[in-house]
Amino acid sequence: MPKVPTKLVSWDDIVEWSRGLAKKIKESGYMPDVIVAIARGGFVPARLLCDFLDVENLLSIQSQHWTEAAKVADRAIIKFPYKVDLTGMKVLIVDDIVDTGESLILARDYIMKEWKPDEVRIAALQWISPVAKLRPDYYFIEVKEWIWFQYPWTRLEDTYQFIKRMLSEEGKYKKEWSYEELKTKFMEWYDIDVGDEYFRDAIEMLVEKGFLSRIDKDRFRVKG
């Protein structure tokens, strides 16, 4: 059993899920004038929904809650608040996943109050129903047990954070690691294969940021 429940999501999955989500929105008869992507996770699904739903107007707002992969920050904030006039328009807010729902609730309330559209609905590729404080109007997948979905747009960031977290535990007992040992331990912890290119990039980032030092090409030492 992996230590952190994680599932790798491919680009193909994303296209398929976005297409399915668009179909549900279309079938409901809702025709948004504007799509608002919640940055950063909603960017790719929002762009794909513009394509599938034939929507030209795409805005974004950054509502942040999570600071790093699978770790939650205290509260959500609108990072760069700004105003636009959306009176008379129908809005579709798009995010990748509704986990706690807090960043979406904040974004929705902000948009309704400050941008004043006629109607706001929410769409997400995935909805973690047991933990979410909000049920999106549209979702493609209902997730019934909490999992960290390793989306393709955070592959490097997540791999970096995951290795770092793994080594802050495992590195207490073992300081020197070969590339292969790191990969094996990563599989034990997370049970996902991000591919060698991402894995090497993540290790390089750990070296650059001073968390690991390089002994030779394929051997590393945990610092501190």
Q: Report the alpha-carbon distance of residue 71 to residue 61 in Å, rounded.
A: 21
Binding mask of the shown chain, residues 84 to 103, with x at each position contacting ligand ADP by CB under 6 A: -----------xxxxxxxxx
User: Which of 32/41 has CB closer to ligand ADP?
Assistant: 41
Shortest gap between Cβ of 38 and ligand ADP (angstroms)? 6
Shortest gap between Cβ of 36 and ligand ADP (angstroms)? 13
Shortest gap between Cβ of 64 and ligand ADP (angstroms)? 7
139 binds ligand ADP (CB under 6 A): no
User: Which of 22/105 has CB closer to ligand ADP?
Assistant: 105
- What number of chain residues touch ligand ADP (CB under 6 A)? 16
| Count of other CB atoms within 10 angstroms of residue 129 | 13
User: Which of 56/74 has CB closer to ligand ADP?
Assistant: 74
Shortest gap between Cβ of 76 and ligand ADP (angstroms)? 6
User: What is the 3 state secondary structure string of the chain?
Assistant: CCCCCEEECCHHHHHHHHHHHHHHHHHHCCCCCEEEEEECCCHHHHHHHHHHHCCCEEEEEEEEEEEECCEEEEEEEECCCCCCCCCCCEEEEEEEEECCCHHHHHHHHHHHHHHCCCEEEEEEEEEECCCCCCCCCEEEEEECCCCEEECHHHHHHHHHHHHHHHHHHHCCCCCEEEHHHHHHHHHHHHCCCCCHHHHHHHHHHHHHCCCEEEEECCEEEECC
Task: Give the residue, chosen from 25, 37, 39, 76, that forms a contact with ligand ADP under the rule CB under 6 A.
Answer: 76
Task: Give the residue, chosen from 138, 139, 148, 189, that forms a contact with ligand ADP under the rule CB under 6 A.
Answer: 148
120 binds ligand ADP (CB under 6 A): no
Shortest gap between Cβ of 66 and ligand ADP (angstroms)? 4
Shortest gap between Cβ of 95 and ligand ADP (angstroms)? 5
User: Which of 104/182 has CB closer to ligand ADP?
Assistant: 104
Contacts of 156 (CB under 8 A, 6+ apart): 198, 201, 202, 205
Contact, 197 vs 204, CB < 8 A?
no
164 binds ligand ADP (CB under 6 A): no
66 binds ligand ADP (CB under 6 A): yes
37 binds ligand ADP (CB under 6 A): no
Binding site for ligand ADP (CB under 6 A): 41, 65-66, 76, 95-104, 148-149
